[in-house]
Structure 1
Amino acid sequence: MTTSAERVGLRRRPVQSLALFVGVVFLLVGLLGFVPGATADLYLLEFAGPHSGAMLFGVFQVSLLHNLLHLLFGVAGILSAWTWGASRLFLAVGGFLYLLLWVYGSVVHSMDHDGGAANFAPFNPADNLLHLALGAVMVVLAVVGTVYERTHGQYPGREQRGR
């Protein structure tokens, strides 16, 4: 039995669902960066840079710019879920950008402990590990979602098996 979503072609492909999930998580994290309790020492929130004393979940240093970027990235993920190509692009390119952010944060943290001009965002070791994990997971999700679709005959441009 087919559902009404399948009949009108509104069924999401796996990679679209993954992009939607990642987008929602980023949106929630961005919002939590402004919530007292979820963010310790919220009154120490700075606009940008390493001097912000606000800590999301008491572990991850955040700034106003950091939270706004999480919100923007969340909205981008949610909007990308409308199409297969945009979802895959969001996960792959977004993951790559987070891997670059991890490299940048590692270099800035190791070279510039006092937070000079090059350090536009908080980069502590916990943040750097999170950026590494997010980047790797997003790239893996883009690849795994695509491989899943190809093995199940759902890759765009191919007819689905069994129809």
Structure 2
Amino acid sequence: MSHTPTAAGTARTVTQILAAVVAVVFLLVGIAGFIPGLTTNYDQLTFAGHHSGAMLLGVFAVSVLHNLVHLLFGVAGLVLARTARGARAFLIGGGLVYLVLWLYGLLIDHGSAANFVPVNDADNWLHLGLGVGMIVLGLFPLSAGRPRADTR
């Protein structure tokens, strides 16, 4: 099935649904970064920079800026998921952004001021997976990205 009817009678493409799910995950991650317990060393959470000692789930380096970026990315994803073209743009464009962030994380010294987001090795692997995964979701399956014509 390539689309799902909504209350308004319009159809959501598979790509739109996938983009919305990814966007909601970004929103949840952004919120989780502000919750003590889900974020360890919460008292070391700083606005930005490599010196933020807060770790989401005890693994991923976070800061207020990092959390806000996740929240904004989630909001943008939900807005873009309203159309099939926007959903594809969010998934593919967002995937490219995460691949660039992965490269950034590989190239910078994690202990330097260049690590303003901040990122660590776990973030780098996550960013690689997100980048590839979002691009694949944006491209897969191309025919399921559009509602089928009514054959009645």
- TM-score normalised according to structure 2 size: 0.90
The answer to whether structure 1 residue 160 and structure 2 residue 146 are counterparts is no
Q: Rg: which structure is higher? A: 1
Report 1:7-86 matches (<5 A).
Answer: 9-86=9-86
Structure 2 unmatched ranges of 5 or more: none
Residue correspondence of structure 1 range 81-92 to structure 2 within 5 A: 81-92=81-92
Counterpart AA for 1:115: S
The one-letter code matched in structure 2 to 1:77 is G
Report the equivalent of 1:143. Answer: 139
Identity of aligned residues (%): 52
In structure 2, the CA distance between the partners of 1:70 and 1:8, relative to structure 1 (3 Å rule), is: closer
- Higher normalized strand content (fraction of residues): 2
Indicate the residue corresponding to 1:125 in structure 2: 121
Name the structure, 1 or 2, with higher relative contact order (CA <8 Å, separation 6+): 2
Does the Cα contact within 8 Å between 1:66 and 1:121 map onto a contact in 2? yes
Aligned-residue Cα RMSD (Å) equals: 1.7
TM-score normalized with structure 1 length = 0.84
Change (3 A) 1:59 1:98: same
C-alpha deviations, 1:10-54, integer Å up to 9, x for none? Answer: 221110001100000000000000001110111100111111100
CA distance in 1 between partners of 2:87 and 2:107 (Å): 30
Cα 1:146–1:51, aligned 2, differ >3 Å: closer, same or farther?
A: same
Q: Cα distance, 1:122 vs. partner?
A: 1.5
> For 1:85-124, what aligned pairs fall within 5 Å after superposition?
85-108=85-108, 112-116=109-113, 118-124=114-120
What is the aligned length?
148
Q: Which aligned segments of 4 or more residues in structure 1 are displaced greater than 2 angstroms?
A: 5-9, 145-149
CA distance in 1, matches of 2:20, 2:28: 12
CA contact (8 A) 1:91 1:141 kept: yes
